[in-house]
Structure 1
Amino acid sequence: MSLDIEHIIVHSLFLDEQGQTQLATREQELATGPAVNQLMGELHHIYNTKAGKVFGYFNEDDSGFRDLVRRVEDQSLTFAAFTHQAAERLLAELNRLDMSEQGVLLFVRYQWLGAHYLLIALLDNKDSVTVTEKLEVSHASYLDLGKMQLAARLDLTELQSRPDSHRYFSFIKGRAGRKVSDFFLNFLSCVEGMDPKAQSQGLLKAVDEFCESRQLSQEEKLESKALVSKYCREQLKEGEELELRELSAELGTDDDLDFYQFVSEEYQLEDKFPVDRSALKGLTKYVGSGGGLTISFDQKLLGERIQYDAATDTLTIKGTPPNLKAQLKGGE
């Protein structure tokens, strides 16, 4: 799959002696070459496969960043000038919130699978050591791409063709304990839109009720859910979104009832959305926790090795896992 870099540039956010964030800008775009192509290929893959992304759209009450995008798209503003103004906007937002951030600020416009994207990421620059060709130990710096925490991508093609969409922006929510919305969303004039986790939970409910509507046996239900789980995990592995029409084809039809028609009538699911990995457990497992107890088991075990008595609210397990049995005996 070809990835075509159209424009790319980097700037730097750093802390001065007083601990205030400062901005250093590059005047010219980067020339593409093996190193830049490798960087962008890795970034694109990491971003696509990053779990927990949220979607959004431009805030109607703040047109600042959207106006910059319009100007660079109609070529009344060069890409380099666009990034300079955008970087200054980010710095102003950090100063407004009295926040300190540093790292490499990357802007890239690229094409992939016929769609145009604008990716903006704040990357950590890490210090390390390396051994040179002369077998000398030397200081080195590198971009820690695997821990990318602050990034957003604007689907320019989606924005142009479907300006009323609530999902042409996607973004990573940020480090634990700090939401990207603290400053990154404000900088982008963006608000949250479609929630992949809610979509995935809605999918699980739809699959359950679709199986019920087809009057499937317990074994057939488990087979259908396993098929949905397999499809979703393959899409996650490839960094692709779930497509309801594709999933419907996988499930097949029965008496002119297909899954796509079923969800179109009764559920508010997008035709395409990224699957939330954590929600997939609900397709093949029963999971619950509370009061210091966490239980998870394959749904196919209910009624076989595991029995549930609703009257006494009792779960009976036959055949304790060996590692759990060893722990239990050790605690006697």
Structure 2
Amino acid sequence: MLGGYNTHPFWQLYGNLSVMSLVIEHIIVHSLFGDEQGRVQLATREQELSANPAVQQLMAELHHIYNTKAGKVFGYFNEEETGFRDLVRRMQDQSLTFAGFSHLAAERLLAELNRLEMSEQGVLLFVRYQWLGADYLLIALLDNKDSVTVTEKLEVSQASYLDLGKMQLAARLDLTELQTRSESRRYFSFIKGRAGRKVSDFFLNFLSCVEGMDPKAQSQGLLKAVDEYCEARQLSGEEKLASKAQVHKYCREQLNQGEELELRELSAELGTDDDLDFYQFVSEEYQLEDKFPVERSALKGLTKFVGSGGGLTISFEQKLLGERIQYDAATDTLTIKGVPPNLKSQLVGK
């Protein structure tokens, strides 16, 4: 049973737009559960769900949560193991119904779980949908939680709901990119949830997928490119801070909207130089994708200096260096003027 699902504060602003823009083509759910012997079993639904208003809202929220989830990994089909890709092809050429595709895919996932003696359980959702002109296949394993609620008659009753914010595992295949850019190394994306590194043991095998583009490496490369671009333009310290702040602002906005960074857009945000355009600069010197998701944790490197070691952690705004904070490289000494009040009170108390 699907039960209800958690809603989030974003819904009032985001939900109506999502329902209008997101078109569900096929959707079905199955269940992975443990038997008395501790092995995972599969219960399948025969018919697809109808895309009623409740299902539309569920999918709009799932889509938003997936888009804004940090730490996604990207990949592409493994040429040596084509099991899942063959299922996708059969679904696309309609030699398999969507329900039939989901049954075979669910059985494939179950086999991987049992082969590795893993006990992942929950509601297994398969959905094919369109969003802003792109065609997606989303597969998610969702927690089905039991709780209590107060009814309209003020009776306390048991209730079941989907905990969407804690997806255990989810993967999305961009069918449009697969069709138009089959050489891409990022038409698959997935999140790992509590399964952590074990995802490589069974989820990638289930998807016939290997890891491709690394968003963390791309984000670190972006920070290096911004630093060296500012140096190449011989910007003053103040101009450099302003440029980094502009990059930080753009990246934050993209993250909050669930969108990826686009180098051409970022270049336009930074403005153009008669001799040196940011997009041209990174195209010549760096191996950055034209479009990639920024790692939120990397953004602080644009505006802050951060370091830790030996029991010491220091973080401060880059603009403070040379003003309230001085660094003497000869003595390897950092001098801070104006200690934060909450830190000062702790120091004085000692």
TM-score (norm 2): 0.93
**Aligned mate of 2:80, from 61, 71, 82:** 61
Query: Which consecutive unaligned segments of at least 5 residues does structure 1 have?
Result: none
Output the CA distance in 1 between the equivalents of 2:269 and 2:133: 26
User: Quick one: distance in 2 between partners of 1:177 and 1:239?
Assistant: 22
Instruction: Tell me the alpha carbon deviations over residues 111-134 of structure 1, each in whole angstroms, 9 at most, x when there is no partner.
Output: 001000000000000000011111
Go from structure 1 to structure 2 and tell me whether the alpha carbon gap of 1:174 and 1:181 turns closer, same or farther (over 3 Å shift): farther
For the pair 1:85 / 2:104, whether they are aligned, the reply is yes
Report the CA distance between 1:18 and its aligned residue.
1.2
8 Å CA contact 2:169–2:195 kept in 1: the answer is no
1:45 maps to 64
- 1:238 equivalent to 2:257? Answer yes
Structure 2 residue aligned with 1:110 = 129
Paired position in structure 2 for 1:207: 226
Higher mean Cα deviation, 74-83 or 174-183?
174-183
Deviations 1:248-306 (A, max 9, x none): 00111122311000000000000000000000011000000000000000000000000
Correspondence 1:161 to 2:171: no
Structure 2 segments unaligned to the other structure (5+ residues): 1-16
Shift of 1:5: 0.2
Which aligned segments of 4 or more residues in structure 1 are displaced greater than 6 angstroms? none
Match of residue 195, structure 1, among 207, 214, 221: 214
Contact 1:203–1:269 at 8 Å: present in 2 too? yes
CA contact (8 A) 1:118 1:155 kept: yes
Distance in 2 separating the partners of 1:330 and 1:71: 70
Among residues 148, 152, 170, which one is paired with 1:133 in the alignment? 152
Q: Which residue of 1 aligns with 2:12?
A: none
User: CA offsets, 1:111-166, max 9 Å, x none?
Assistant: 00100000000000000001111111111110000111300000000000011100
Q: What letter matches 1:295 in structure 2?
A: I
Match of 1:226 in 2: 245
Q: 2: CA distance between counterparts of 1:88 and 1:12?
A: 11
What's the offset of the Cα at 1:78? 0.4
Identical residues among aligned pairs (%): 88
Measured after TM superposition, the shift of residue 176 of structure 1 is 6.5
Kept after mapping to 2: 8 A contact 1:126/1:144: yes
CA drift of 1:219 comes to 0.1
Alpha-carbon distance between aligned partners in 2 of 1:263 and 1:22, rounded to the nearest angstrom: 50
Name the Cα RMSD after superposition. 0.9
CA apart distance, 1:178: 4.3
Matched residue SS, 1:12: strand
- Aligned equivalents of 1:177, 1:36: Cα separation in 2: 29
Out of 165, 185, 197, the position equivalent to 1:146 is 165
Residue pair 1:173, 1:181 contacting (<8 A) in 2 also: no
Q: Which residue of 1 aligns with 2:314?
A: 295
Matched residue of 2:280: which SS? helix
Whole-angstrom distance in 1 between the partners of 2:284 and 2:196: 39
Q: Which residue of 1 aligns with 2:275?
A: 256
Aligned to 1:307, which of 317, 323, 326? 326
What displacement does 1:177 show? 4.8
Q: Say which SS state the counterpart of residue 74 (structure 2) adopts.
A: strand
Letter in 1 for 2:312: L
Q: 2:89 aligns with which of 61, 70, 73?
A: 70
